[in-house]
Amino acid sequence: MSQPLAELRHISKTFGGVHAIEDVDIDIFPGEVMGLLGHNGAGKSTLIKVLSGVYPPDHGEIRIAGQAVRIETTREAKALGVETIYQDLALAENLDAVANLFLGRERHTRFGFLDEEAMEHETRIMLDRMKLRLPSLRTEVSRLSGGQRQAIAIGRAVYFDAKIIIMDEPTAALGPEETEKVGELVRELKTHGLGIVLISHDIHDVFDLADRVTVLSHGRVVGTVRTSDTTKDEVLSMIILGRMPNGRDQPGTAIDPAS
Ligand SMILES: Nc1ncnc2c1ncn2[C@@H]1O[C@H](COP(=O)(O)OP(=O)(O)OP(=O)(O)O)[C@@H](O)[C@H]1O
Ligand SMILES: [Mg+2]
């Protein structure tokens, strides 16, 4: 059984009187794409914000590589290798790919100047590794496509040693071709042993890429299933009805992908 990159246990979070998530368990494994599905308001974003240090949970435990951790800020989450990519991507629009990759972590020459040459070289290696081509490394990112921007955000996470990449509705605003490109990137990251969490309210965004999916409804886990053991229709019925399909057990927590 492979060691999970992250284990979330009994996580609950309320906002005022609203139980955004209640007693949720999920595991994230290396080299695996985990889909998090559910209607609008099901609690998907809240759950991953607990893991990425945006909200402290009211209850529950998080283990990273087997160690119990407290994650109180996004900085702490990043230091533990958890990177989150939101739809707006948090890229600096008026800077180019190189500047965005090294934003806040710039390289300097021994004379204290920005080492543009080294940063450009590293950017090129990163883009090659991700099989990504940009018109120019020096184009402002505001002039790049959604898919290209997504790739830079992913590249930055990988370059700075992310172990887990969480993508919240990554393809919501992308066309079919760019969506396919993001899919290729996700498959590439998998081969490097990263754990990827793909979040969507739309099963079609997630099912084909995911190894497992967890469905949330009203803040609770409906079930976690391996995509190789199920069908889109079954998962769709979990999302719509908020329960496992007839004749199927509700798995307690995540299933080990290697078992
Ligand atoms: N900061 C907040 N303050 C108050 N309530 C919140 C906050 N964030 C989320 N909620 C509530 O918690 C519940 C879960 O919201 P969440 O954003 O996690 O859902 P989601 O599954 O990501 O939905 P979507 O698919 O629309 O992104 C909702 O009822 C929402 O209104
Ligand atoms: Mg959301």
Please give the distance, rounded to the nearest whole angstrom, from the Cα atom of residue 118 to the centre of ligand 1: 42
Domain end point (choices 111, 140, 161): 161
pLDDT value of residue 160: 81
pLDDT value of residue 87: 61
* 94-114 per-position pLDDT tens digit: 889 899 888 878 899 999 999
| Coil vs helix vs strand at 112 | coil
Same domain for 205 and 249, yes or no, is yes
Alpha-carbon distance of 8 to 16, in angstroms, equals 23
- Helix extents (H) in the chain: 44-51, 74-79, 97-101, 116-129, 146-159, 176-191, 203-206, 232-241
Residue 121 domain flag: yes
Alpha-carbon distance of 64 to 28, in angstroms, equals 10
State whether the beta carbon of 201 lies less than 6 angstroms from ligand 1: yes
Secondary structure letter of residue 202 according to DSSP: -
* 13-27 per-position pLDDT tens digit: 999 989 999 999 999
- Give the residues across from 213 on adjacent strands: 35, 225
pLDDT value of residue 250: 61
Domain end point (choices 120, 141, 161): 161
pLDDT value of residue 13: 97
Alpha-carbon distance of 37 to 39, in angstroms, equals 7
pLDDT value of residue 254: 46
Pocket perturbation via mutation, ligand 1, pick of 46, 167, 222 by most ligand atoms within 8 A of CB: 46
pLDDT value of residue 90: 65
Query: Rounded to the nearest 10 degrees, what angle do helices 146-159 and 116-129 cross at?
Result: 110
Count of domains in the chain?
A: 2
Which residues make up the environment of ion ligand 2, defined by Cβ < 5 Å?
Answer: 45
Same domain for 70 and 171, yes or no, is yes
State whether the beta carbon of 42 lies less than 6 angstroms from ligand 1: yes
Pocket perturbation via mutation, ligand 1, pick of 21, 24, 36, 44 by most ligand atoms within 8 A of CB: 44
Domain end point (choices 142, 161, 180): 161
Same domain for 77 and 201, yes or no, is yes
**HEC per residue, 17-50:** CEEEEEEEEEEECCCEEEEEECCCCCCHHHHHHH
Please give the distance, rounded to the nearest whole angstrom, from the Cα atom of residue 55 to the centre of ligand 1: 12
Please give the distance, rounded to the nearest whole angstrom, from the Cα atom of residue 44 to the centre of ligand 2: 6
> Which of the residues in the chain have pLDDT under 70?
1, 87-90, 249-259
